[in-house]
Structure 1
Amino acid sequence: MQGLRFSKYKGKSQSTFDRLLEVFKELLLHSSGDVDEAIDWLRALDQEYELSTKDYTIDDFIEDLKKKGFLREEIDDGGGSGLAMTAKTERAIRHRALEQVFGKLKKSQTGNHQTKHAGPGDENSSDHRPYQFGDSLEQIDMPQSLKNAYANNGIDDLRMSQDDLVVNEQFYKAQLSTVLMIDISHSMILYGEDRITPAKRVALALAEFIKTRYPKDTLDIIVFGNDAWQIELEEVPYLKVGPYHTNTVAGLDLAMDLLRKKKNSNKQIFMITDGKPSCLHEPDGSYYKNSFGLDDYIVGKCYNRAAACRRAGIPITTFMIAQDPYLQQFVEHFTQANKGKAFYTGLNGLGDFIFQDYENNRKRRIN
């Protein structure tokens, strides 16, 4: 599995359960939430790298996972039983993805991104300014105003005038709505490269990042293959690549539909893909597909959607997980049509690129 490195453990800072849990969460992401497969991989790794101990075996670990609420018994359609992830495990995977991708960031106060425009906003800052006619009484910082009155008049003649009053400055806390598009076409696992797992990890990390750092922002996640559909955050760990072509137009249409429903004016689309657009859903219900080269008909539709997003004020940032020159040329033309941005990235740097662009887009869109 790409991205994993193992060696015999020599440290003592974590319990055996905690160490195994970190590995197990990663395996669950690679197995798309298949607990039995993840356990099989864990046993194989344990045989080679001695992850467990004589006093704490993999079987002990599995029992603790059930006791601690990470796994539950599930009855399948055939009447058999098996193990499945719980909501607690899904949250733990999101948190691990956040630490992997954004671990170098320090937490900040909720909704801390300010616009340049001061005035009646929705949250206080630590800055003060003199009272002005029209300021509400709720904005007055009474302790600081009393200090000013004492400094100006002394304790023997403590009177408060308008000149002593200061108010908490307020700022608008702008909201940004993001749609993240994830390509689940078959090419995401071609040539022995696992490209879907890094895409899932970034989606989970971005969602957790927005929820904890910018809780007023929104993130919708959609996947696209032959068609496009919206998924819930809880479904991301279970995503699998299908026998699909790449219907980029369907993904963009759905993304625009979702963003039209958002009342705020700051909107953007992130698109993670590694393949060329190769499919369209025609008005008569049929599919037009072409897997050979770049089809002018399909590509033209993509350019049209990119321009439509530009006219609607929706920038598209494309993260191309491929190095093919002819695909890069398509992305360049697509980006020009949208006036957006594009990154050509390998699998390891995807998270950092997404983070940088989210922060930069946020600053650019709301300032």
Structure 2
Amino acid sequence: MISWRFRKFDSDAFKENPFETLLRLFKELLMHTNGDVSKALNWLTQLDNQYSITDDNYGIADFIQDLKDKGYIKSDGKGSDKLVPAAKMELSLRKQALDDIFDHLRKSKSGDHKTNHTGQGDEHTAEIRPFAFGDPLDQLAMTETLKSAQINHGIDEFFLTQQDLHVHETYYQSQTSTVLMIDISHSMILYGEDRITPAKKVAMGLAELIITRYPKDTLDIIVFGNDAWQVEIKDLPYLEVGPYHTNTVAGLELAMDILRKRKNPNKQIMMITDGKPTCIKVGKKYYKNAYGIDRKILNRTLALAVKCRKLNIPVTTFMIAR
């Protein structure tokens, strides 16, 4: 017999854990402080004083201790009291960026990159073919297999042979080599507009998406200002803008050099920037012009873009601007 029990509604039961609430805020602040734990905690304390986020049962000191105990922050290992983000925090930041930016993608089918070619994969085409040695049995087309067995051997003495087996054809799933370019020129914080933080979020979301959804892919990350250089994935949350112009040519050249060493035929470049290129290198000197679109700089940039296209390397640009 089905029965129900009624009791007074308890709103506290639906409240978020105070640690989780503070952690979400702390991660956001950590992005804005480029990984400065002390500064982020100071800002968090100011927010708590203004908006009463904590209560007498759980305070900021409790939160800091939990961060240490749960492995989100650690000592810098240099004998000082300075705290730095741990690897767990870096992973958590990337996952949050993925949740914030690409949550709609995570609701789609899981798997690797689908192509128009048949081959080993897990997504069926409309085609059915005879079984071949090495085909996985979970791709067996039961209806076609049973039909073939009945035709070949009759219904009275039903049995299967390898010649009766048929399998679903599947789409071949390929690997891709990706280079992610991030603009850290001064314009990313120009006029008081913070463009570097959303740029870092997009970069972390893309990185986490590739790492988790396409684990067989390769991912290289470079930053570019007056010059371009490689950074590691763990450095993404802590990237800082410098007193640089935007040398898109240097970034594309380095990206192409990296991809040239990759044996994978599928290659792509993803670029996160806030505007036009303003710098190129001519010999050992920098040619800079931040005032409008400079034809010399633009032509060099477009020439590289055309070269990428001829090499079948698509360049996808994420524009960070209001």
Question: If the TM-score is normalised by the length of the shorter chain, which range does it land in?
Answer: 0.7 to 0.9
Identity between Structure 1 and Structure 2 (%):
52
Q: 1:107 & 1:211 partners in 2: Cα distance?
A: 17
Matched, 1:237 2:237: yes
2:225 corresponds to? 225
Q: Which moved more, 1:84-93 or 1:100-109?
A: 100-109
Greater shift, 12-21 or 92-101, is seen at: 12-21
The structure-2 alpha-carbon separation of the partners of 1:212 and 1:108, relative to structure 1 and needing over 3 Å to count, comes to farther
Aligned residue number for residue 294 of structure 2: 295
Provide Cα deviations, 1:167-186, integer angstroms capped at 9, x if missing partner.
Answer: 25343212222222111011
Matches of 2:12 and 2:289 in 1, distance apart? 53
Q: Describe the shift of the 1:242–1:138 C-alpha distance in structure 2 as closer, same or farther (beyond 3 A).
A: same
Length, aligned pairs only? 307
Q: Bigger CA drift: 143-152 or 19-28?
A: 143-152
The answer for the alignment partner of 1:122 in structure 2 is 120
Counterpart AA for 2:301? C
Cα contact 2:268–2:315 (8 A) shared by 1: yes
Secondary structure (helix, strand or coil) at the match of 1:81 reads: coil
Contact 2:183 2:223 in 1 (8 A): yes
Q: Is 1:36 the equivalent of 2:11?
A: no
Q: 1:145, 1:164 within 8 Å by CA — same for their partners in 2?
A: no
**Matching residue of 1:270:** 270
Partner of 1:340: none
For residues 137 and 265 of structure 1, the distance between their equivalents in structure 2, rounded to whole angstroms, comes to 25
1:19-71 deviation per Cα after TM superposition (whole angstroms, max 9, x unaligned): 11111111111111110111011001111111111100011000010011111
Per mean C-alpha deviation after superposition, the further-off stretch among 121-130 and 164-173 is: 121-130
**1:125 offset after TM fit, Å?**
4.4
Q: Which ranges in structure 2 are unaligned for 5 or more consecutive residues?
A: 1-10
Change (3 A) 1:139 1:72: closer
- Asked if the contact 1:122–1:173 (Cα under 8 Å) also holds between the matched residues in 2, the reply is yes
Query: Are 1:308 and 2:304 an aligned pair?
Result: no
- Greater mean alpha carbon deviation, residues 303-312 or residues 164-173: 164-173
Query: Closer, same or farther in 2 for the Cα pair 1:317/1:140, shift >3 Å?
Result: closer
Query: CA–CA distance in 2 between the matches of 1:232 and 1:319?
Result: 20
Residue 309 of structure 1: CA displacement? 1.3
Alignment of 1:96-245 (within 5 A): 96-105=96-105, 106=107, 108-111=109-112, 113-118=113-118, 121-125=119-123, 129-131=128-130, 135-140=132-137, 144=142, 148=146, 152=150, 157-161=157-161, 164-245=164-245
2: CA distance between counterparts of 1:10 and 1:260? 57
Aligned to 1:252: 252
Summarize the alignment of residues 42-121 of structure 1 with structure 2, pairs less than 5 Å apart. 42-75=44-77, 80-105=80-105, 106=107, 108-111=109-112, 113-118=113-118, 121=119
Matched-pair contact (CA < 8 Å) for 1:29–1:197:
yes
Amino acid in the other structure paired with 2:41: I
CA distance in 2, matches of 1:89, 1:102: 19
- Whether the 8 Å contact between 1:278 and 1:295 is mirrored in structure 2 is yes
Asked whether the 8 Å contact 1:35–1:84 carries over to 2, the reply is: yes
Aligned position for 2:7: none
The correspondence for 1:27, drawn from 26, 29, 36, is: 29
User: What is the Cα-based RMSD across aligned positions, in Å?
Assistant: 2.7
Which range moved further: 137-146 or 177-186?
Answer: 137-146
Cα distance in 2 for partners of 1:251, 1:10 equals 52
Distance in 2 of aligned mates of 1:320 and 1:31? 22
> What is the Cα deviation at residue 229 of structure 1?
0.6
| Counterpart Cα distance in 1 of 2:133 and 2:114 | 21
Distance 1:289 1:256, change over 3 A: same
State the secondary structure of the residue aligned to 2:236: helix
| Contact 1:131/1:162, CA 8 A, preserved across alignment | no
Would the aligned equivalents of 1:184 and 1:240 in 2 still touch at CA under 8 Å? yes
Does the aligned pair in 1 maintain the 2:149–2:159 contact within 8 Å?
A: no
Listed one character per residue, the Cα deviations across residues 142-200 of structure 1 (whole Å, up to 9, x for unaligned) are 79489827983799623224563122534321222222211101110011110000000
C-alpha contact 2:128 2:166 (8 A) present in aligned 1: yes
Letter in 2 for 1:46: D
Q: CA deviation at 1:308?
A: 1.4
Q: Which residue of 2 aligns with 1:318?
A: 317
User: Displacement, 1:110?
Assistant: 3.0
Q: AA paired with 1:102?
A: F
Shift of 1:140: 5.0
Q: Distance in 2 between matches of 1:197 and 1:205?
A: 12
Kept in 1, the 8 Å contact 2:129–2:168? The answer is no
CA distance in 2: counterparts of 1:178 and 1:137, whole angstroms: 31
User: Contact (CA 8 Å) 2:144, 2:166: kept in 1 or not?
Assistant: no
